[in-house]
Structure formats: C-alpha cells, structure tokens
Structure 1
Amino acid sequence: MPARRRNRSARSIRARPGVRSTGCGAVSVTAGEAQRLSVHPTTPQARLIERAAQRIAGDGLAICPTDAGYALVWSLNGTAAEERARRLRQLDSRHPFTLFCRSISDASRFARLDDPAFRLLRRLSPGPVTFILPASGQLPNRLKQSARSKRRDIGIRIPEHPVAKALLEACGEVLLSTTLRSPEMDADEAPFLGHEADEVADLWLHAVDVMLDAGHCAPGPTSIIDCTLPAPDVVRQGFQPVHLD
C-alpha cells in the first residue's frame, strides 16, 4: 500500500517562486496561478479528477502521473495548450506527440492496426509502452507528422496508472501528451526519470494550469515499439523493458 502523505487536497501555486497553501477543499484559480491537486494514487477522488478535466476542456495544460513518470497532457483540440507545450519543451513544429487512449478501440480510431500491431497492443497494453502506428484519417492533419521520416504516423499509448485512466474517462476523449524533459536534461548525463511529484512541481508547475499530484509514480521513459516497420521492432527500451518474443 502506498505510504500515506500529508493531507493536502489542493494547493494554489503562483507562477513565480513561492508556495501558498490553501488547506483542504476547493480553491479558486485565477490567471497566473497553477492548481496542484493531491489525489490518491490508486483510488483518485472523482471531484479532483473532474476539476482537472474541466481545465483541460478549457484548452488547459495539465501534468498527470503515468506508469512511466509524470507527463504533460492536453485536449486533442487544445491548440493553445499544444503551443504552450511546444514552447515549454522547446520543440519544433514537427516534433511528434503521443496520443493517450483509454482502450484499443480508442487507438483504432486514430491509427491503423494490422494483425501484428493489434496483438501487441492487446498483450502489452495498458502499460508503459508507446506504439508507433500509421495514422488514420480521423487524426487531425497537424498531428500527421514524423520527425523521423515523411511517413504519417502517430505514437499511441494506453496508460495503466489509475489517475491517468480516471482522467481519460473524465475527459471522455483521447489526450495528447509529451514527456517532461528539456534540452538541458537531454544533455545532462544524469537521467531525469520524472517520477517524483515535488521535483516535477518545482520544475514545471509554474508553466501549467493544473497538476494531479499522486506522489511518486513509476519512472520513465516508456519503451517504444515501431509498428510501421515490416516487422514490429523495439526501438527504445524504457525503464521497464519489453520483449516481443
């Protein structure tokens, strides 16, 4: 059972250094503030999940725990939030994002699944694995890009973390996502695993609208399986390795 943490149902943290605790209960969020919501890691409180979902529905940018570290998430139609995520991560316009899905059925709406890909998703999902798949016609054109080639593909992930699953259900739609990294972290020899809530909040909370804080989660990154190749292949082993045999 996860260790109990101090009771803080919600915090408002200004975009500038300094923390202002509001205690338990609802808080009113104004411009220039980010809301940090403390949720149970296995049975997240529905009212707090709904609060985060409302921020996302309003083109907000959120931080959510997953089974491979905390991640930035936003609505599929949240173009303003997407631009904020690009600026925050210092990404160019062709950098691909990952689609968070509730199920294989969700994934099949936005990606084309052949039999080998379907079997892999069924065997390895939900879990800390990203699948690169050919994009379907339902995916918005702005997302049909690849930093690796001219192919039109999309990264698909079905997270297992209870908080991420609850957020997807509350939003009622797929979400776009990217890892919490910066070019400086990529150049650093010490890996940033993105699994400690306080560290994530110190680095990133000032730049988002809401953070679902579930304490420590499993470290990242995910493993990546490229299903656009003639035979699916693991192109990156994550913190939790996968095997196709």
Structure 2
Amino acid sequence: MAEFIKIYEENPNAKEIKKVIKVLKAGGLIIYPTDTVYGLGCDINNIKALERVAQIKGVKLDKANFSFICHDLSNLSDYVKQIDTATFKILKRALPGPYTFILPGAKTLPHPFKKKKTVGIRVPNNNIALEIVRQLGRPIISTSIRDEDEIIEYTTDPELILEKWDNLVDLVIDGGYGDNLASTIIDLSEEQPIIVREGKGSLEIF
C-alpha cells in the first residue's frame, strides 16, 4: 500500500517533504507532480530503486531514457559535459519550465548511466518537485506515468493515480490535478537544436 500525502504547490509543507525524502533515501518509488504530467521517480543514486522503475516501464535499466529532475542549473556539471554559452543561455531562458533538454552526458554520471552519451535534464516549474530535489541534495529520475491508450483521469487525478499505482510505488503525492500535456523535448547535444517532441513548452525560447 502506497502512502498518500497532500502537498500544496504554493507553499510545500517542510514536514511532508521530509516524509518524501525519507522514502527516497530508503530506496522507495514516488509519484509526484511536475509542471506537466505526474512523474514516477526515485533517488538517482539508488540502483535497486532505478531497477524497479525500469521494470515497471518494461525496459532494461541501461537502455532506459529517464530524465533527471534538477533543482537548478548549478550542479549540471555533475551530469553534463561542458556546454557552450549559447546552450547555457537557452537553458537559462527556458528553465524552470516544461522542457526536457537532451545534453551530452558527463563521465561522472551515476553508475547505471555511465554508457549514456546524452542525458535528459528537467528543471520543472513546480515547487513540490523542486523542493524534493533541493532537500534530497541530488536529482531524482523521472519518467512519465502517462500511457497513450489511457483514460486521462488516471494520469491527472491524484486519487485515481493512487488507485492504479498503489501496489507499485511507495508514496503518491497529491499536488492537485496534473496536466495531460508532456514536456517539450529539445536535443541540444548536436550543433543545432533539434525538437524531438513538441509538448507544453513554447518554442519561442530560441
């Protein structure tokens, strides 16, 4: 049975956030709100938890394309190779916001991601998600809980999300109704930006 806690985005309660951190540090899986679709995530450094997420998604961990939810751009160099000024300016303009940026992966990536040439970075415009990673002190990985064939309510209504995911995860955060539009994915790992998926984020950031 998953724990179900209500956290308000305008002012995330520190005590409730601490509960989330405790679950993450113990290797638990959480479902949490972002500025787009609710996400399924875990501590980026916990291999067992990462493997559980990969299993739920039906992929091998080393083949999984999980995004990293970061609090801001300050620790980017731990996960991303040196980026040029133009790329950094795009990131500064767009984040926090509903974007996933694909960037060249650093050699210091956590073990399961070592062979990855690129990583997806998210800094969502959502205080709950940002406060979780700020207090954890490192990113959580993120993968959308949305299924193309699914009834929308099962990915936007926290109570229905709990009903569906109750036996798969350890904690579900009720951060209000979620969005059904995923993030815009932009690949900045090559010479020119490539729009991989057009989602909620506007393309006027260039």
Q: Deviations over 1:172-227 (max 9, x none)?
A: 2111111114xxx33x2876883321232222232111111112133331100101
Counterpart for residue 102 of structure 1: 71
1:201 maps onto 2:169 in alignment: no
**Residue 239 of structure 1: how far off its partner (Å):** 2.9
**Residue 43 of structure 1: how far off its partner (Å):** 0.8
SS in 1 for 2:49: helix
1:92 maps onto 2:60 in alignment: yes
Q: 1:193 to 1:68 in 2, by over 3 A?
A: farther
SS in 2 for 1:142: helix
SS in 2 for 1:69: coil
TM-score for both structures, normalised by structure 1: 0.77
TM-score for both structures, normalised by structure 2: 0.90
Distance in 1 between residues matched to 2:181 and 2:161, nearest whole Å: 13
The code of the aligned residue for 1:229 comes to: E
Larger radius of gyration: 1
Distance in 1 between residues matched to 2:153 and 2:191, nearest whole Å: 33
1:179 maps onto 2:141 in alignment: no
SS in 2 for 1:66: coil
Q: Which has the higher contact order (CA 8 A, sep 6+)?
A: 2
Counterpart for residue 74 of structure 1: 42
SS in 1 for 2:38: strand
Q: 1:75 to 1:210 in 2, by over 3 A?
A: same
Identical counterparts, % of pairs: 28
Moved over 6 A (4+): 189-193
1:128 maps onto 2:98 in alignment: yes
- For the aligned residue pairs, the C-alpha RMSD in angstroms reads 2.0
The code of the aligned residue for 1:200 comes to: I
Give 5+ residue unaligned stretches, structure 1: 1-32, 147-151
Give 5+ residue unaligned stretches, structure 2: none
SS in 2 for 1:136: coil
